[in-house]
Amino acid sequence: MSLNLTIIDDFLPKKEFNQIYNSISFLEWDHDFSYISNVKHIWYSNGPLSPKDFSIFKKALRKKLNKKIVYCHLNAWTWVNTKEPRPHIDYEKGKCEHQLIFYIKSDERINGGTGFYRQNEKDSELDVHIGFKENRAIFFESKGCWHTPLLWNSKNKTVGRYSAIFQLVVEEISL
């Protein structure tokens, strides 16, 4: 497995993060993903983000990673509480070539991050684990990248993870 992964702590400025953190659990959540093709994993969403909120992430991506969004296939606030690992790939050329997962709220003591899997002929095996931390973003190439939320390992059956997800095509900003 070739994993092109970047982890960025303190991804958003504190003021913007706190506004999101304080309002995220009050959103209305939906689980109907019929409008998205090939969705085979379960999470609840509220999206797409408002233009104002999307702009905050666009700006942070430019500032922290020197990347410009060319196309955004999907963006949403999400809440996941999956109790079994569901490794999957979201890659779609020209639509989802990179992904950004932004962690907002969970219990940092549990395994609420993201697992990246090595796929072999018979099954998949956890290879890399990125732990949950508030205001952390993980950015990775989608192609060949098997991943899943890791909440299935939590002893607490009611705690979930709030995050924002983005399926993107990006380009490097020339300096």
By DSSP bridging, strand 5-9 and strand 136-141 are: antiparallel
Report CA-CA distances (Å) from 115 to 46, 106, 138, 140, 141. Answer: 23, 16, 11, 12, 14
Q: What is the pLDDT of residues 138-162, one digit of tens each?
A: 999 999 999 988 876 666 666 789 9
Write out the residue range of the structural domain in which residue 128 sits: 5-32+39-172
pLDDT at 38 over 90: no
Q: What is the pTM of this model?
A: 0.91
Tokens linked to 115: 């697992």
Percent of the chain with pLDDT over 90: 60
Residue 164: which CATH number? 2.60.120.620
- Alpha-carbon distance of 100 to 130, in angstroms, equals 13
Q: Minimal CA–CA distance to 104: which of 87, 127, 85, 80?
A: 80
Angle at 51 between CA 132 and CA 139, to 5 degrees: 30
Domain count, the chain: 1
Q: What is the pLDDT of residues 108-135, one digit of tens each?
A: 776 788 999 988 777 888 899 999 999 9
For residue 97, the Cα-to-chain-centroid distance in whole angstroms is: 13
Could you tell me which residues are beta bridge partners of residue 96? Answer: 92
